[in-house]
Amino acid sequence: MTGALQLPPAFRLVAFDSLDSTNREAARLAARGGAHGTIVWAREQTAGRGRRGRHWSSPRGNLYCSLLLRPDRPARAAAQLGFAAGLALAEALERHLPEGVSLALKWPNDVLIDGRKAAGILLEGSAPAAGRLDWLVLGVGVNLTSFPEDADYPATSLAAAGAGTTPPAEVLERFAAAFLGWSERWHTDGFASLRLAWLGRASGVGGPATVRLEGETVAGRFAGLDESGALVLELDDGSRRSVSVGDVFSLAA
Ligand code: BTN
Confidence of residue 250 (pLDDT cuts 50, 70, 90): very low
Render pLDDT for 152-183 as a digit per residue (tens, 0 to 9). 889 999 999 999 999 999 999 999 999 999 99
| Single pTM value for the model | 0.93
Strand duo 12-19 + 38-45: pairing:
parallel
Q: Which residues pair with 216 in a beta bridge?
A: 213
What pLDDT, on the 0 to 100 scale, is given for residue 252? Answer: 40
Contact between 119 and 97 under an 8 Å Cβ cutoff? The reply is no
Confidence of residue 214 (pLDDT cuts 50, 70, 90): confident
What pLDDT, on the 0 to 100 scale, is given for residue 65? Answer: 98
Q: How far is the CA of 158 from the centre of ligand 1 (A)?
A: 17
Residue 20: which H helix or E strand, with range?
Answer: none
Name the residue of 25, 64, 111, 144 whose CB sits within 8 Å of the most ligand 1 atoms, as the mutation to test its pocket.
64
